[in-house]
Amino acid sequence: MADIQNENKMEKIVSLCKRRGFVFPGSEIYGGFVGAYDYGPYGVELARNIKTVWWEAMVNEEKNIVGLDSAIVTHPKVWEASGHVNGFSDPLVTCNACGASSRADHLLEGIEVFADEKMTLEEINTLFDAHRNELHCPNCNEVNFGNVSQFNLLAQTNLGNFSEDWTKEPTYLRGETAQGIFINFKNVLDSSRVKVPFGIAQIGKAFRNEISARQYIFRKREFEQMEMQMFVKPEDDMEMYEAWREKRWQYYLDLGFSPENLKWHEHENLVFYAKAAWDIEYKFPFGFKELEGVHARGDYDLTQHQNFSGVSMEYLDPVTNEKYIPHVVETAVGVDRTFLAAMTEFYDEDELGGEMRVVMRFPKKLAPVKVAVFPLLKNKPQLVAKAEEVFAILSKHMRAEFDDNGNVGKRYRRQDEIGTPACVTIDFETLGEEKPELKDTVTVRDRDTGEQKRVAITELVGYLK
């Protein structure tokens, strides 16, 4: 793959995403809305494939993990119990010159000063003051910040509140999908044939009122999570934790990610209830950043919901008759971050047939379109009819696209840019007009190599799968 400079690569990815219908700026006709993006026709297919591949690995291929789809809005006490109401915050600092808000830790990071997210307000203010004269406002470039304060990231909603006073019984858009899993622990346990150790997986939207949403779709205010909570015996949690660390690392290698673009990062200051926390970081164009977190959370979550709800979260072991609150091993990754990682990993530029091209080398399971079907000429009805026949066959088995616009070379380039693994061309040989022995065969062109092969229509589905 081509060695593309990171600063240029990000610009190229963003441009490609807009131009080819992967990602659009949110509310663009109104000037955009910070931290919001829309997935276009190819983006929604890629995101759907990312979720499908994750679900297959986490649920379908595991004998003791089940799925869940919990509500976005829950009883507000859920977020009190989880600690989000009082402790889910980022360090906010405001520019005295222009009024723009920034995250203090991000400003410090920009001058290579590390501010841990577990720092107290006093600690981060001390650190910020020590470097205050080096910190420029991203909006106006002035060096004139106020003091750092804590800003809660939970997004409030008035859903179900008819008083017009949001301070009375506030409700929240969920800040993570995990809490929906924890509050349904007993429901899943009582309604399914699961027993400890077992997991609950969920894919869903979450919302965080980010102070400075940035780095494209990496940090959004509305995003989608893929989380799995594994419930285990207390004495088995670290063994289970290491097993899932290994599984999640291998998952990315199996998807085709280069090990050179992945690394582990250990959390230096754990929250008080955690036993271990490591992140899989990916080398985005802006550097190594968190892609997925794997955490040993102890019994904190179930204990908190037991205390706040009054409902027992104890598990009765059917073999030993022992009662205990299970410990939790968590894996959590964002759809959007996986999307950006995939766009980064598989973006390439090369020369093929004497011409430079952009090609997305997605693995087949992630590719938005699996195959494109072309009639050689759009003004030949018999070719078009045969191409439509082939499209009808393939589209029942995989995501296919029909394209008869422009010459075949241009169609190849369009499909290369969206990562389509194979293109099928229906030509006069398919009709048997030039070589009768080639009747009902098509030309299949490989995205990565450009090589072409004749394949019988009856064998196409098996060949392309």
Domain with CATH 3.40.50.800 in the chain: 369-464
Specify the pairing of strand 198-207 against strand 65-68.
parallel
Question: pLDDT band at 5, cuts 50/70/90?
Answer: low
Domain with CATH 3.30.40.230 in the chain: 89-152
Contact indicator for 372, 403 with CB cutoff of 8 Å: yes
Q: Where are the beta strands (DSSP E) in 70-157?
A: 89-94, 101-103, 149-152, 155-157
pLDDT at res. 1: 60
Mean confidence (pLDDT) of the chain:
93
Q: pTM value?
A: 0.91
The torsion angles phi and psi of 338, rounded to 5 degrees, stand at: -65, -40
In tens, the pLDDT along 258-291 reads 999 999 999 988 887 899 999 999 999 999 999 9
pLDDT at res. 273: 86
In tens, the pLDDT along 433-450 reads 878 899 999 999 999 999
Contact indicator for 92, 150 with CB cutoff of 8 Å: yes
Q: Which helix (H) or strand (E) holds 284?
A: strand 276-284
For the record, the structure tokens of 373 come out as: 């079907």
Domain with CATH 3.30.930.10 in the chain: 6-85+160-343
Class assignment of domain 369-464?
A: alpha beta
pLDDT at res. 455: 97
| CA angle, 120 then 123 then 129, to 5° | 140
**Which residues, 6 or more positions from 460, have their beta carbon under 8 angstroms from its beta carbon?**
390, 393, 394, 424, 442, 444
pLDDT at res. 3: 64
For residue 42, the tally of other CB atoms under 10 A from its CB is 22
> How many angstroms separate the CA atoms of 235 and 341, rounded?
35
Contact indicator for 337, 109 with CB cutoff of 8 Å: no
Average pLDDT over residues 303-329: 96
pLDDT at res. 152: 82
Say which residue, 158 or 459, is predicted with more confidence: 459
In CATH, what is the architecture of 6-85+160-343?
2-Layer Sandwich (3.30)
Lowest mean pLDDT among 22-31, 119-128, 229-238, 251-260: 119-128
Q: Which helix (H) or strand (E) holds 9?
A: helix 6-19
| CA angle, 405 then 407 then 412, to 5° | 90
Fold of 89-152: Herpes Virus-1 (3.30.40)
Q: ω before 197 within 30° of 0 (cis)?
A: yes
Contact indicator for 434, 428 with CB cutoff of 8 Å: yes
Reported as half-sphere exposure (CB side, CA atoms, 13 A), residue 367 has a value of 27
Residue-by-residue DSSP string for 249-261: HHHHHHHT--GGG
